[in-house]
Amino acid sequence: MDISRFTESHCREQLLPFTLTRHTADIRIGMFTIKEKWELAISLFPQLNLPQSIPADIIPGVDFFALLNEKNWEEALAEADLYKTLHYPWQITQYNDWALRQDFAMATINQKSAVISSTVKIIGEGQVFFEEGVIAEHCYINTKDGPVYVSSNAEIMEGAMLRGPLYIGKGSVIKLGAAIYGATSIGPSCIIGGEVKNSVLFGFSNKAHEGYLGDSVIGEWCNLGAGTTCSNIRNTASPVKVWHMKRKVFVEAGLKCGLLMGDYSRSSINSSFNTGTVVGVSANIFQPGGLLPKYIPNFSWGPAADIKYSLDKALSDINNWMNFKNHSLSREQINTLHLIFSLNEYT
């Protein structure tokens, strides 16, 4: 499905930093990106009444697609409980529980799980789906609070403790003894260790060591150094305020919000992120002590917003990280990073 079918002019700047490097329809929420949800629905619902242009910030559920298979766009859109609208980036985690359940229901239509080893301890009603090629032994999967879907060639190491709703993408690795709570989505080729709760990692990113990540959204090609931890609730239990990159103001985001990190950004060991921190694209974060600032702009070098990453070094370092997973920057990605680096608007 061509990305041009999706319109985003009305919402793109509301969803920064993630839409600096991708179309809104390429945001992952639940098991799939928004675009992938529509592509799967087209294969399942042959009479789908598609509008000429699809708002990219609409997050459809399986029942929305079923209704759109029978009625027109306006009639389906009138059923507001069948979809979500993404206004702010922190809503990715707020809607993720709902989105995971919807996607699991759609992805398993007429599908059968691969055989799951008898050494895997499943607790609950058994809403677990493994694609072929999953490696999992002597781990724990609790489905009492929601389903668990594991994609092909993912590995769940011994002693890992998983609770649904949860999605693990193709080729991702869950390390020894990791504790992952729902509602969490882990995109393709991620490495996950330590404690993770109600978070979305878009893909190709690492949180490989001890430390806490909660109510957070991590873009692609990010790396969280050992011991990196984020706060997701204020000591006063009052609403979290998050920096809005376009409006340049703090906006209330509810009682819980952790770390929102744009693509290609990295943190050093023992980094401590404040509640509701926003990190832009390609920031190299290291911390002399204490909590990091609540907003770290694009191409920051260390915690100081007035010191910038050299563009040539940033591109070289990104390629070094991508090489670990047998990828490299494309010409389109390089051009996008050049453009972001030249912008003074989101500082």
**pLDDT of amino acid 126:** 75
**pLDDT of amino acid 347:** 62
pLDDT tens-place values along the chain, 347 residues long: 899 999 999 999 999 999 999 999 999 999 999 999 999 999 999 889 899 999 999 999 999 999 999 999 999 999 999 999 999 999 999 999 999 999 999 999 999 999 999 999 999 987 999 999 999 999 999 999 999 999 999 999 999 999 999 999 999 999 999 999 989 999 999 999 999 999 999 999 999 999 999 999 999 999 999 999 999 999 999 999 999 999 999 999 999 999 999 999 999 999 999 999 999 999 999 877 678 889 999 999 986 666 789 999 999 999 999 999 999 999 999 999 999 999 867 66
Record the pTM: 0.94
**pLDDT of amino acid 305:** 60
Q: Which residues lie closer than 8 Å to 240 by C-beta, 6 or more apart? A: 232, 233, 234, 252, 253, 254, 255, 256, 257, 275, 276
CATH fold label, 122-342: UDP N-Acetylglucosamine Acyltransferase; domain 1 (2.160.10)
- In the chain, what are the domain boundaries? 3-107, 122-342
**pLDDT of amino acid 1:** 86
